[in-house]
Amino acid sequence: MKRTSLVTAAAVAAGLLSAGTASASDWTMTYLPLPPGGSGIAQVAATNGAGSYAGTADGKLVTWTGGTVADHGIPAGYTRVEAADENASGSVLGSAVYYSEGSHYPGKHAFVFENGGFQFLGKVPGYYNSQAHGTNDRGDVVGTVFNDIRYGSTAAFWPSGDREHPVKLDVPPLLTPVDIDQDGTILLNEQYSGTYLWKDGVLRRLVLPEGVRESRGIAIRDGKVLASTPLGDRLWTAFDTSQEVPDNMYTTALNGSGLVTGWVAEPGRPKIPAVWSPGGPVTRLPSPVDAYGIAVGDNGEIAGALQDSGSGTAPVVWRRG
């Protein structure tokens, strides 16, 4: 369904939110504009925390600032881009995708988009592919490097002062980086196992609740860690201290104050966008169709996507008040 159709659906549904979502009345939903001439489908991926957003539309990198959209295209020689993160300065992190002749498996080259252009990150010696996963406000980047993705990848770090000379992280081979905190702490997942924090050469595993053996890190921000477990998602305020996210909420992101977004599922409604703060209830956000939160800024705004089973997604922002 194109954005125009979803807008119509939103207008029709505006007065049809159930009494069970009354807590969402403080929140309003706004559609993010799309580049002209495209399919009408886009995906928001990240925020600078202050009202600007980054994502993709028809495989191209797009950003939203001040209610307008900018289409930055695709770097020459590549087929599409994947947006991964954005920091407070508006530097967008992502990966450009290509296919070598005769190959069915993609190659990738990590980049930052800043000062109006794509700037590819340096390669780790011995590896010709890189994929970006997370950046912090000082511009450090964490990701992976690989040659043939079928045979796995290796964790890598690009320091803000010298992105031309990345280094492999000195961590066990099955650890994959997910995100990086403002102080340089790196969040990693171990395949079929737990979640780890790495900083200055020291590796610590998140302490899980009794009886839980597996977790998957989702995000780290200002010392807080969001991760999923087989018994539900949890928020860690220290590596050995966590609390359950209530209502079986599926989480996707958090900000510096611990505000969490994602979705909850109810009978007949697989994905209802939601937000939660420690100590409070889960709040369902208004939406005319299935939807979910993707990124949450330090200003409290939540970017996400409306889903339509027929044609795709539409990027939106929820604001309180």
CA angle 84, 91, 185 (to 5 degrees): 65
Residue 310 has a pLDDT of 56
CA-atom Rg of the chain in angstroms = 19
Residue 10 has a pLDDT of 34
Residue pair 285/302 in contact (Cβ under 8 Å)? The answer is yes
The type of residue at 320 is R
Closest CA to 179 of 54, 87, 317: 87
Residue 173 has a pLDDT of 87
Q: Three-state SS across 35-90?
A: CCCCCCCEEEEEECCCCCEEEEECCEEEEEECCEEEEEECCCCCCEEEEEEECCCC
**Long-range pairs for 100-105: beta carbons < 8 A, 24 or more residues apart:** 105/148, 105/149, 105/150
Residue 311 has a pLDDT of 57
The type of residue at 133 is H
Residue 39 has a pLDDT of 87
Residue pair 254/244 in contact (Cβ under 8 Å)? The answer is no
Closest CA to 261 of 92, 47, 95: 47
Buried b (16+ CB within 10 A) or exposed e, 156-195: bbbeeeebeebeebebeeebbbbbbbbebbbbbbbeeebb
Q: Which residue, chain included where needed, has tokens 């539309």?
A: 57
Structure tokens at 245: 């996210």
Rounded Cα distance between 43 and 59, Å, is 10
Structure tokens at 174: 């099955």
Q: Which residue, chain included where needed, has tokens 């010696």?
A: 125
pLDDT tens for residues 274-283?
A: 999 999 999 9
Residue pair 113/92 in contact (Cβ under 8 Å)? The answer is yes
Residue pair 218/177 in contact (Cβ under 8 Å)? The answer is no
CA angle 186, 274, 33 (to 5 degrees): 85
Closest CA to 139 of 105, 114, 175: 114
Q: How many helices (H) and strands (E) does the chain have?
A: 1, 28
pLDDT tens for residues 204-217?
A: 999 999 999 999 99
Residue pair 274/284 in contact (Cβ under 8 Å)? The answer is yes
Q: Which residues of the chain have pLDDT under 50?
A: 1-22
Residue pair 11/261 in contact (Cβ under 8 Å)? The answer is no
